[in-house]
Amino acid sequence: MNNFGFNFDNTYAKLPEIMATKISPVPVKQPELVIINTHLAEELGLNFSNTSPQDLANLFSGNILPEGSEPIAQAYCGHQFGHFVMLGDGRAHLLGEHINPKNTKVDIQFKGSGRTPYSRMGDGRAALGPMLREYLISEAMHHLGIPTTRSLAVVKTGEMIRRETKLKGAILTRVAASHLRVGTFQYVAAKQDLNALKQLVDYAVARHYPELLNSQNKAVALFKTVMKRQAKLVTEWLRVGFVHGVMNTDNVSISGETIDYGPCAFMDQYDPKTVFSSIDHYGRYAFGSQSIITKWNLARFAESLLPLLAEDEKKAVGVAEDLIRSYDETFENHFHEMMKKKLGLISNEENDKAIISELLNLMYNNQSDYTNTFRYLINNKLPQNKLLNDTGFITWEQKWKNRIKQNQEEALNLMIENNPAFIPRNHLVEEALKDADNGNLEKFELLLNVLKKPYNEQPEYQNYSQPAPVTDKVYKTFCGT
């Protein structure tokens, strides 16, 4: 059996039985390779040079399994739009944990690979469009420098799946630091298995944060570290205008990666209330609410750790409350430093917060494009006159120029590093996915190529930096489940 360079060491499968179910992907009728991430494959130390497209299709559909893999479906819970649900991998199979040439361990997971015990009446399958969306957006996020799961391949299954209409079936191969989630801890806590909870904390620390191994209280140390990672992560989302869209606790990764690109999208005009998800009717996961919901999700994480925070329940609750209380300051510090970088503010001055808030208010009032406004400050190119003609903005811009003039070159370089010229514009993503669903990957691959260098000007692709044409139609995204 060919293992294609996979080097598996499957530690998760050795955790208590309640954590997962051993189960193989469900074979498909006629797998066909759609796209493979050759650069990522090389980084992983995988060798497909002598592998035919059909053999790759069989591999990434689960019709054949690489040597050393031990497929499992993981169990976890989730607060979905605030409602607690017992979940698990209803359409995913973790093949195993691969050790790459840098001796780093990553999960190799199939998504859309068939029914599991956690499918809850679902068919265990996924559609081509949503799998290609995750491939495109996750790779764009990687090149934007934001912690994220990666996409290795997409394969068509040769089968149709039924949603509101019949859609082409597909399987995505996802690479992640791990698939440990807040919901994983919630699941064990809900089972009231203290021994399993202790093992899970030990496992998470050993896998992701070995520097915490000698901590006096590993549960407390783990929470503090995850909280910092999540505060930093959501700050990075806000930096580039990203709206996750489905920030349930089962989509909060313990490693601090962005995970699950369902109804995600990128904001054009700056508006903190921006929502794209078709099922987010009340703006729970709106652009400007992402920090608030991150804190809420972390509170659920702290609740699941209560038995390990202190022996006395009342004291444990007090510890949890103190931990959660520290989130606001942690996030505000990350956010302030991030916005300073976007504006090239090198030193610390008293009026920095005012400069930041004034600009955001002006952008909101003038319906300014979020990405292009910051790039305008770098290169004076902004195809939007409303903001430029606002007397408030003219005054603000002069104030900002005076603020950075002592370190102008350094300030502009800092801004270039933190303000992308290109993001996955929603209308371009939709056009690329529509063509790809019809078998034409030209637009998809071109967009993917442009997004590999998001901070470069790329003048030949300036049309890729423009927001969607004005229309009365409200852009909506869907979970793809």
CA distance linking residue 273 with residue 171, whole number of Å? 33
Q: CA geometry: angle at 61 spanning 144 and 434, to 5°?
A: 55
Burial, 479: exposed, middle or buried (Cβ in 10 Å; 0-12, 13-18, 19+)? middle
Is residue 250 part of the annotated active site? The answer reads yes
Q: From the candidates 89, 107, 250, 280, give the one annotated as an active-site residue.
A: 250
- Residue-wise pLDDT tens for the chain (481 aa)? 578 999 999 999 999 999 999 999 999 999 999 999 999 999 999 999 889 999 999 999 999 999 999 999 999 998 877 788 888 999 999 999 999 999 999 999 999 999 999 998 889 999 999 999 999 999 999 999 999 999 999 999 999 999 888 999 999 999 999 999 999 999 999 999 999 999 999 999 999 999 999 999 999 999 999 999 999 999 999 999 999 999 999 999 999 999 999 899 999 999 999 998 877 777 899 999 999 999 999 999 999 999 999 999 999 999 999 999 999 999 999 999 999 999 999 999 999 999 999 999 999 999 999 999 999 999 877 666 788 889 999 999 999 999 999 999 999 999 999 999 999 999 999 999 999 999 999 999 999 999 999 999 999 999 999 998 877 567 777 766 5
Quickly list H helices, 19-89. 38-43, 53-61
- Smallest Cα–Cα separation from 448: which of 83, 234, 131, 135? 135
What's the sign of the alpha-carbon dihedral 409, 413, 414, 416? positive
Q: Which two tokens stand for residue 49?
A: 């040079």
